[in-house]
Amino acid sequence: MPGMTEHDPTARAYAVRLDREDPLASFRERFVIDDPELVYLDGNSLGRLPLATRDRIERLTAQWGSELAAAWDSWLDAPARVGDALAEAALGARPGEAIACDSTTVNLFKLASAALELAPPDVRAIVTDAGNFPTDRYVLDGLARARGLELRLIEEDPIDGPQPADIEDACRAGDVALVSLSQVAYRSGALADVEAINRAAAPARVLWDLSHSAGAVPVELERRGVELAVGCTYKYLNAGPGAPAYLYAREALQPQLDNPIQGWFGQREQFEMGRAYDPVPGVRRFLGGTPPIAGLLAVEEGVRITGEAGIVALYAKSQALTGLIVELHDAWLAPLGFELGSPREAERRGGHVSVRHPDAWPITRALIERAKVIPDFRGPDSIRLGPAPLYTRFTDVHDALDRLRSLVEDGAHREVDASRRAVT
């Protein structure tokens, strides 16, 4: 980003200048922003609503009302069409290698099951890190128990995440069938070295979760030799709450993979209603039941905006936004007892920054209730700040950290209801 060599990060005028020089600034106007005073730093959890998505859903309801079931002729290819759009705009993959469907949890189960079916009979373990996102660990634990395998958990560094040496040690005995990791750690934002970890895990297959990376950092599945991946679309891809996820399988591996959830949308000539299951070739065999069309069209619109902005430009701005958070943490928050919970170096970070404090939960509530700043909390002591480069301004970051500093200095976090909520 321009203007990053000589600066005073604590001066709001510096943030104003960065906004003025930001080549992505105009994209903010393409999102619903009802309250301009609210600073939204939770784009790593749920992205904002694109105006184009709101219009697209209105057109869909009109089409449903007028065309009824005849509209399926235009809806039927949505999972593959949206998958191809994802591959091009966000995943660095080829057409026919990604499909939009189901949830991340279900897709992880499908690809992990398919990969385990290919493993030699003498393998005994699945490897993941103890800090991996809970749904990933739960799915892998269930698969391990069902197949009589060991789930081998790496106790990685809480800031830097699992390193290639950790994976090499876990796989040293040659008894690992599958390694499953996240490209960006959900708590700390650490960015994994995908290629080095793939090499360290060999010959075990590696299944990557891209939920916290796609749309914020370059994924580059083709270039990095990734075979299997899953991810969600409601974070940096702005597809909406509970929007369909996606899965990726490298073209050369697809003929060897079987979908453990055999559904009629993965069936060849599905409307012939044949008795025997005969899966279609390619990644479409991983479809199951009837796809959620409204959700898929929302994914398509979110991905379209990402493609227009370009992942290189988005990553550059993301690094600059998170870099400003780190600098303001050092200047304003560290003296108040905060610790940086994310890698300091930009090239080792994803799209969000965690700041740690013993009173992180009441501080989070005070930010939301008293300072009009929305972050999120991840136990035991992390406040995640997720600036989404499509719509977050540098002045948003400056103002949020300034408000955070002020409320802790004033002790406002001691005055809020600190009982835990269902959603944190």
**Per-domain residue ranges of the chain:** 12-30+310-415, 53-308
Q: Residue length, the chain?
A: 424
The verdict on whether 384 is a catalytic residue reads: yes
Tell me if 49 sits within 8 A of 32, measured CB to CB: yes
Catalytic residue list contains 234: yes
List the catalytic residue out of 42, 209, 376, 399.
209
User: Can 12-30+310-415 and 53-308 be said to share one CATH topology?
Assistant: no
Instruction: State residue 4's pLDDT score.
Output: 45
The yes-or-no answer on residue 209 being catalytic is yes
For the chain, residues with pLDDT lower than 70 are 1-6
For residues 114 and 160, is the Cβ–Cβ distance under 8 A?
no
pLDDT for res 3? 45
For the record, the structure tokens of 11 come out as 């001066």
The yes or no reply on domain 12-30+310-415 and CATH 3.30.1960.10 is: no
Contact 167, 154 (CB under 8 A): yes
Q: Which of 27, 40, 133, 246 is catalytic?
A: 133
Query: Catalytic residue among 234, 246, 315, 377, which?
Result: 234
Q: Looking at 30, 110, 187, 235, which residue is catalytic?
A: 235
Q: How many helices (H) does the chain have, and how many strands (E)?
A: 13, 13
C-alpha distance from residue 242 to each of 94, 102, 124, 245 (Å) = 26, 10, 34, 8
Architecture of domain 53-308: 3-Layer(aba) Sandwich (3.40)
Q: Looking at residue 156, what is its pLDDT?
A: 86
pLDDT, tens digit, 9 for 90 and up, residues 61-88:
999 999 999 999 999 999 999 999 999 9
Choice among 30, 284, 317, 384 that is catalytic: 384
Write out the two tokens for 217.
């950092």
pLDDT at 424: 80
Burial of 311 (0-12, 13-18, 19+ CB in 10 A): buried
In DSSP terms, 280 is beta-bridged to: none
Helices (H), 100-204: 104-117, 134-147, 164-170, 194-201
pLDDT digits (tens, 9 = 90+) for 294-307: 999 999 999 999 99
Of the candidates 210, 228, 195, 193, the one whose C-alpha atom is nearest the C-alpha of residue 343 is 193
